[in-house]
Amino acid sequence: MKFSWKTVLLWTLPALVIGFFLWQGSFATAPANMGRNAASTRMTYGRFLEYLDANRVVSVDLYEGGRTAIVEAVDPELDNRLQRLRVDLPGNAPELLTRLRTAKINFNVHPVRNDGAIWGLLGNLVFPLLLIGGLFLLFRRSSNIPGGPGQAMNFGKSRARFQMEAKTGVMFDDVAGIDEAKEELQEVVSFLKKPEKFTAVGARIPKGVLLVGPPGTGKTLLAKAIAGEAGVPFFSISGSEFVEMFVGVGASRVRDLFKKAKENAPCIVFIDEIDAVGRQRGAGIGGGNDEREQTLNQLLTEMDGFEGNTGVIIIAATNRPDVLDAALLRPGRFDRQVTVDAPDIKGRLEVLNVHARNKKLAPEISLDAIARRTPGFSGADLANLLNEAAILTARRRKDAITMAEIDDAVDRVVAGMEGTPLVDSKSKRLIAYHEIGHAIIGTLVKGHDPVQKVTLIPRGQARGLTWFMPSDDQSLISRAQILARITGALGGRAAEEVIFGDAEVTTGAGNDLQQVTNMARQMVTRFGMSNLGPLSLESQQGEVFLGRDWLTRSDYSEEIAARIDAQVRSIVEHCYDDARQIIRDNREVIDRLVDLLIEKETIDGEEFRQIVAEYTDIPEKERYTPQL
């Protein structure tokens, strides 16, 4: 059983205090100057007088001002042996001394010592001293605890982690897939190392660099690389560490941070998740958060105010640049905004090469094939993918990672954990037709991504899955490609209706219908791909920012809103008709594929296309092209 220092202290202090007072009380109750031979046997005052009359008393020692006597007397009951007895004398017995002189008995009067007053004074001082000492130990111990009571006077100090020479273990060579961002930030490092190269032509050091991008793309990793490359003092702090419940604490911490930074200039200050403190001012209904706004005002002043911050470079990261205050984004504060986006296929290959350094890969592993299979993956997603594959390899007791582990890891990262295989039933056959419906349309419709595999193995909430593999990273998507995706997404519902009838359609197409409606609406309201013409009727922003978008008026009338709904419905219905027609025209190959899928549970994309080619020999350029 373990005891903490607090428990020991809480039990020890009261025990010491109680023990001291008990000891003091017992000491005070005994005569302070009776010596070691004080008698323990008592005698009454009347019996003492009887002994005195019988001449049995040999000597008397008087203590405590005549209130106590130690008497040596001869006891006839003990063969006249000498015995020491203690007698409590009455306070008003002045005749006792006269009788002792008359009887010629030796007696001594011992003066009263003032030890009681000394011990009383010490007793009154010991408890306060013990209490003060215990509190001192408590505060000293808690001063090492972040936010403890010992730091009550330091809550206004900056909590930034400081490194004179940041040894993060990360260099620019360890950051892959974001070459444009690296190039921008390498200039900052060069400026810190060789400022004369830039100042010679009149260039000034940038005051701030804002890293913007989705989560997991490597913003914090870039900051670590800058710290490792620059070789200058490095401060790192999170935006949420500025704001506290006490008004003025955030602004005080900002001042303290920049004071320390100026003392160590040139240096780098990295603020992660700056949107926690840098949101637009006045964004609250009926006034904003005064503490956060005071913190932001102080940050704006320190970055580019009256005094300036020469030699201090601020690097901040956020994935919500839309909510940042405009004053924070202007040149002079954040001179550069570096977009750290998800890597393209070349970038993904570079990221995979970095994270595969410490992995044991089988010879047949192709990182290029993995990069093609993972469009939209961020650097963190790719690192997690290889780690999941390594875990599966260890679980299966293999010596190296194979493509089987890579495939399962991709499926797990994208769709979730593998579930229990379906039993043969009507439900399993219906799910098989649903997935084959997606795959057959994806194969026969021009402009659709090719099928990678079709499986009946449940993952996450999905009872079956159809995977498509984009041929390349598509930053621009044509109208025909969007219509092809809408038609492919409706293939599952179309197969259910054509094969089993309208009464047997299931809820399995719920997620497909959400995607279809979203794509069709974006065609009408954002991309100008409808009969309404080239109009952008809705912004790309999806989240409402309180105070800015809460009372935003619609950009179009109710009549246009009704026409938008009609156009969305027209697009979806047209694509649904096309999907049902394709299912009817290819019923024979669909039935064969369903039987094969139920038997094998997974069909590879290449095998799928070979079977389809036996029944429908249609060249790529003559495939069905969806049109409105």
pLDDT of residue 386 exceeding 80, the answer is yes
Q: 120 or 262: which carries more pLDDT confidence? A: 262
534 is in an annotated binding site: no
β-strand 57-63 against 68-75: which pairing, if any? antiparallel
Question: Do residues 228 and 267 both lie within one domain?
Answer: yes
Q: Is 435 a catalytic residue?
A: yes
pLDDT of residue 448 exceeding 70, the answer is yes
Distance CA 66, CA 93 (A): 9
Q: What angle do CA 91, 94, 98 make, to 5 degrees?
A: 145
Say what the pLDDT of residue 147 is.
47
Question: Do residues 326 and 467 both lie within one domain?
Answer: no
214 is in an annotated binding site: yes
Residue 369: inside a domain: yes
CATH number, domain at 371? 1.10.8.60
Region 285-307 average pLDDT: 73
Question: Do residues 353 and 448 both lie within one domain?
Answer: no
Q: 287 or 532: which carries more pLDDT confidence? A: 532
Q: How many domains does the chain have?
A: 4
Residue 126: inside a domain: no
Residue 470: inside a domain: yes
State the catalytic residue, choosing from 293, 435, 496, 497.
435
pLDDT of residue 21 exceeding 60, the answer is no
Among candidate residues 283, 314, 339, the one where a domain is terminated: 339
Among candidate residues 415, 450, 476, the one where a domain is terminated: 415
Say what the pLDDT of residue 86 is.
84
Question: Do residues 465 and 387 both lie within one domain?
Answer: no
Question: Do residues 478 and 543 both lie within one domain?
Answer: yes
* Percentage of residues of the chain with pLDDT beyond 70: 77
CATH number, domain at 224? 3.40.50.300
219 is in an annotated binding site: yes
Give the tens place of pLDDT for each residue, 83-99.
788 888 776 566 777 77
Residue 23: inside a domain: no
512 is in an annotated binding site: yes
Question: Do residues 326 and 198 both lie within one domain?
Answer: yes
Region 561-570 average pLDDT: 93
Among candidate residues 226, 222, 232, the one with its CA nearest the CA of residue 193: 232
Question: Do residues 382 and 272 both lie within one domain?
Answer: no
The DSSP annotation for 200-266 comes to TTT----SEEEEE--TTSSHHHHHHHHHHHH-S-EEEEEGGGT--SSTTHHHHHHHHHHHHHHHT-S
Residue 299: inside a domain: yes
Residue 124: inside a domain: no
Say what the pLDDT of residue 427 is.
86
Question: Do residues 325 and 406 both lie within one domain?
Answer: no
Say what the pLDDT of residue 202 is.
83
Give the tens place of pLDDT for each residue, 178-194.
888 888 888 888 887 77
Question: Do residues 358 and 305 both lie within one domain?
Answer: no
Half-sphere exposure (Cβ direction) of 291: Cα atoms closer than 13 Å: 14
Which of the given ranges, 216-225, 265-274, 370-379, 512-521, has the highest pLDDT on average?
A: 512-521
Say what the pLDDT of residue 150 is.
47
243 and 295 Cβ atoms separated by less than 8 Å: yes
Cis ω for the linkage preceding 215 (within 30 of 0): no
Helices 510-525 and 491-500, axial angle in degrees (round to 10):
130
Question: Do residues 352 and 332 both lie within one domain?
Answer: no
66 and 23 Cβ atoms separated by less than 8 Å: no
Among candidate residues 184, 222, 186, 185, the one with its CA nearest the CA of residue 379: 222
473 is in an annotated binding site: no
pLDDT of residue 607 exceeding 60, the answer is yes
Question: Do residues 399 and 508 both lie within one domain?
Answer: no
How is residue 53 written in tokens?
Answer: 């009359």
Q: 367 is in which domain, residue-wise?
A: 345-415
- Kindly indicate the confidence band of residue 572, based on its pLDDT and cuts at 50, 70 and 90: very high
239 is in an annotated binding site: no
Residue 280: inside a domain: yes
Residue 144: inside a domain: no
Question: Do residues 312 and 392 both lie within one domain?
Answer: no
CATH number, domain at 437? 1.20.58.760
- Kindly indicate the confidence band of residue 51, based on its pLDDT and cuts at 50, 70 and 90: confident
Half-sphere exposure (Cβ direction) of 609: Cα atoms closer than 13 Å: 15
Among candidate residues 318, 339, 360, the one where a domain is terminated: 339
